[in-house]
Chains A and B, each alone.
Chain A
Amino acid sequence: MPETKIISNAKSPMVEIDFSSIKCPGSVLSICEHAFLGHINIRGSLDNSKFAAAAKKSLGIDLPREANTFVEHNAKTILWLGPNEWLLVCDADGTANLVETLKSNFEDIFSAVTDVSGGNTILEISGDRARALLLKGTPLDLHHSVFSKGQCAQTMVAKTGMTLWQVSEDPVYKLIVRRSFSDYLGHWILDAAREYHEE
Chain B
Amino acid sequence: MLLIECPYCGVRDESEFTYSGEAHIVRPLEPSALSDKEWADYLFYRSNPKGLHREMWYHSAGCRRYFNAVRDTVTYKFKCVYKIGDSQPNLDELSSSAKHPADVEAK
**Smallest Cβ-Cβ distance to A80: which chain B residue:** B63
B9 within 8 A of A: yes
* B61 near A81: Cβ-Cβ < 8 Å: no
* B16 near A156: Cβ-Cβ < 8 Å: yes
* A83 near B15: Cβ-Cβ < 8 Å: no
A139 within 8 A of B: yes
Report A-chain residues with C-beta under 8 Å of the C-beta of B64: 82, 85
* A85 near B12: Cβ-Cβ < 8 Å: no
For B20-61 the 0/1 string (1 means CB < 8 A from A) is 000000000000000000000000000000000000000001
* A139 near B65: Cβ-Cβ < 8 Å: no
A154 within 8 A of B: yes
Total contacts A-B at CB 8 Å: 39
Q: A81's contact among B10, B15, B16, B63, by CB below 8 Å, is which?
A: B63
Report B-chain residues with C-beta under 8 Å of the C-beta of A101: none
Q: A83's contact among B10, B12, B61, B63, by CB below 8 Å, is which?
A: B63
Number of interface residues of B (CB under 8 A): 12
* B8 near A154: Cβ-Cβ < 8 Å: no
CA distance A67 to B15 in the complex (A): 20
Chain A: interface size category: 10 to 19
Report A-chain residues with C-beta under 8 Å of the C-beta of B16: 139, 155-156
A68 within 8 A of B: yes
Q: B12's contact among A81, A139, A161, by CB below 8 Å, is which?
A: A139
For A135-161 the 0/1 string (1 means CB < 8 A from B) is 000011000000000000111100001
**Smallest Cβ-Cβ distance to B65: which chain A residue:** A82
Q: A139's contact among B8, B10, B15, B63, by CB below 8 Å, is which?
A: B15
* B15 near A154: Cβ-Cβ < 8 Å: no
**Smallest Cβ-Cβ distance to B8: which chain A residue:** A83
Q: Report A132 CB to chain B, min CB distance, Å.
A: 18
* A68 near B15: Cβ-Cβ < 8 Å: no
Known: A68-B10, A83-B8, A155-B12. A161 touches B61 (CB 8 A): yes
5 new A-B contacts, CB < 8 A, other than A140-B12, A161-B61, are: A83-B65, A139-B12, A155-B16, A155-B61, A156-B61
- Nearest 9 Cβ contacts at the A-B interface: A82-B63, A139-B13, A154-B62, A161-B61, A156-B61, A83-B8, A156-B15, A139-B15, A67-B9
